[in-house]
Amino acid sequence: MDSSWISVKVHPNAGRDVLIGIGPGRFEAWVRAKPVQGDANEAVTSLLSRGLRLPRGRLKLVKGSRGRQKVFRIL
């Protein structure tokens, strides 16, 4: 099965939800959610899903669940 990797720098507790591509497979995401109990991770996953037009089930957070720099895998 082929998969792709995406790197995302997250800015939690922002004023709005925004996803910006900064290079091939690299994004910055501003999310309103606070980094508490995985809320920001869920918000970033949803934002990526909408931005990439992929079902959420195809995105898997593989690194950075507790930090601002995250790596996702597209299944």
**pTM of the prediction?**
0.91
> Rounded to 10 degrees, what is the CA torsion of 28, 31, 34, 37?
-80
What's the mean pLDDT when you consider all of the chain?
A: 95
**Strand ranges (E), 1-75:** 4-11, 18-23, 26-30, 59-63, 69-74
> Rounded to 10 degrees, what is the CA torsion of 71, 54, 29, 40?
-80
Q: Please give the share of the chain, as a percent, with pLDDT higher than 90.
A: 96
4-74 placed in CATH 3.40.50.2000: no
- Per-residue pLDDT of 54-67, as tens digits, reads 999 999 999 999 99
3-class secondary-structure state, position 41 = helix
Domain extent listing, the chain: 4-74
